[in-house]
């Protein structure tokens, strides 16, 4: 009888062993291609700052940057930045922020409550660095990969205590005064609205030129509203260089129109975050690498200009990602996700250009914003 029990125990253990997921089960991804990074020389740190470009990789923490670095065979355009620091991302009512509160802190220089867009915890409007630039006669731009009802672009252009009020948020673009607005979300400006309003028509009445594809965007004059897709832009592998071209057009138009007064622009690699939420390391990394290629374009533009301060950071990190295996020479990573949401880790920020010596060390996200805004004058 004892022998029978022992045999049964062995069989049970064998069955359970077969059913158990192996420990350390990793997602592997190998980048199909890699690209050459740029090499740029910053202007003197005491040169006049005329233009400020803030680039936000949504959900892009140090973990994601580290993975992208391996995939591109040990080099990124972000490596050009001489000043690196950390930004703490918590909001007023939660240790783990979201893009609404995290982006608002970066936009306005003040922490707020979760889900709040461009307003304080009580819902009172807070005005972003783009609004400050407009008051000083500078041109302004907002370019994003996601739809324009998403939290981060709205943090810079709109005001609402709920990031989920897409109708209200989109209506705020009418009076935001931003000169170059481009992203996805055509449906949110009319077809999906519950109130029947045609926001594109209302913005045209305010003087905006509407563009619905890349060719129209390249021909449009300021102020311009570029709605390049019904929802988010296509994934990185399908859209090609569309985001890079949108950014290039933004910088060229703002620079030409602003002259020596300069401009301020927020450029967001939005869908890094979306694919991290989905735990799709392949698509998240393709978005991260496309964002880094865009960083390279911006740095080359800024090097020629000589008066542009460039900051790259994130609103938070997503996915509790850990890099556990890989090969730099092969451009291969093995990762594991800890969750499908955000985490409370500090995120890196990178600074290049005149005025960069004012940055460094560990800052609150709102402090980082206030230092950036000090150069908008």
Residues designated catalytic: 99
Alpha-carbon distance values, 261 to 45, 149, 256, 309, 330 (Å): 19, 30, 11, 14, 46
Q: CB–CB of 187/199 below 8 Å?
A: no
Dist. CA 4–CA 83, nearest whole Å: 69
Residue with tokens 């892009």: 60
Dist. CA 129–CA 265, nearest whole Å: 9
3-state secondary structure 56-122: EECECCHHHHHHHHHHCCCCCHHHHCCEEEEEECCECCECCCCHHHHHHHHHHCCCCCCCCECECCC
- The closest alpha carbon to 102, from 364, 376, 372, belongs to 364
Dist. CA 203–CA 37, nearest whole Å: 39
Instruction: Tell me the pairing of strands 332-337 and 321-327.
Output: antiparallel
Q: CB–CB of 307/53 below 8 Å?
A: no
User: Bridge partners of 225?
Assistant: 181, 210
Dist. CA 45–CA 220, nearest whole Å: 35
3-state secondary structure of 33: coil
């Amino acid at each position: 009888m004892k022998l029978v029990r022992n045999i049964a125990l062995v069989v049970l253990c064998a069955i359970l062993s077969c059913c158990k997921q192996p420990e350390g089960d990793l997602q592997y991804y190998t980048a199909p291609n890699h690209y050459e990074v740029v090499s740029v020389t910053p202007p003197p740190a005491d040169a006049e700052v005329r233009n400020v470009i803030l680039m936000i990789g949504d959900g892009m923490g140090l973990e994601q940057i580290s993975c992208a670095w391996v995939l591109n065979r040990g080099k990124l355009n972000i490596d050009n930045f001489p000043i690196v620091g950390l930004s703490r991302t918590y909001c007023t009512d939660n240790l783990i922020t979201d893009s609404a509160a995290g982006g608002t802190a970066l936009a306005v220089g003040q922490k707020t409550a979760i889900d709040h867009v461009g307003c304080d915890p009580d819902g009172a409007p807070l005005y972003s660095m783009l609004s400050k630039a407009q008051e000083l006669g500078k041109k302004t731009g907002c370019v994003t990969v996601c739809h324009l009802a998403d939290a981060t672009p709205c943090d810079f252009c709109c005001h609402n205590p709920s990031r989920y009020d897409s109708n209200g948020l989109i209506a705020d673009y009418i009076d935001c005064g931003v000169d170059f607005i481009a992203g996805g979300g055509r449906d949110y400006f009319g077809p999906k609205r519950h109130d029947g309003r045609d926001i594109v028509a209302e913005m045209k009445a305010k003087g905006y030129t509407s563009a619905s594809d890349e060719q129209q965007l390249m021909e449009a004059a300021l102020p311009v509203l570029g709605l390049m897709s019904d929802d988010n832009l296509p994934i990185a592998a399908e859209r090609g260089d569309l985001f890079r071209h949108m950014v290039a057009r933004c910088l060229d138009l703002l620079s030409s129109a602003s002259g020596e007064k300069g401009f301020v622009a927020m450029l967001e690699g939005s869908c890094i975050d979306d694919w991290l939420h989905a735990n799709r390391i392949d698509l998240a990394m393709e978005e991260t690498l496309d964002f880094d290629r865009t960083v390279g374009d911006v740095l080359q533009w800024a090097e020629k200009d000589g008066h542009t301060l460039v900051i790259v950071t994130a609103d938070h990190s997503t996915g509790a990602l850990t890099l556990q295996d890989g090969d730099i020479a092969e451009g291969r990573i093995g990762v594991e996700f800890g969750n499908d949401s955000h985490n409370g880790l500090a995120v890196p920020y990178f600074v290049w250009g005149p005025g960069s010596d004012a940055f460094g060390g560990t800052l609150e996200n709102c402090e980082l914003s206030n230092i950036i805004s000090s150069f908008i004058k």
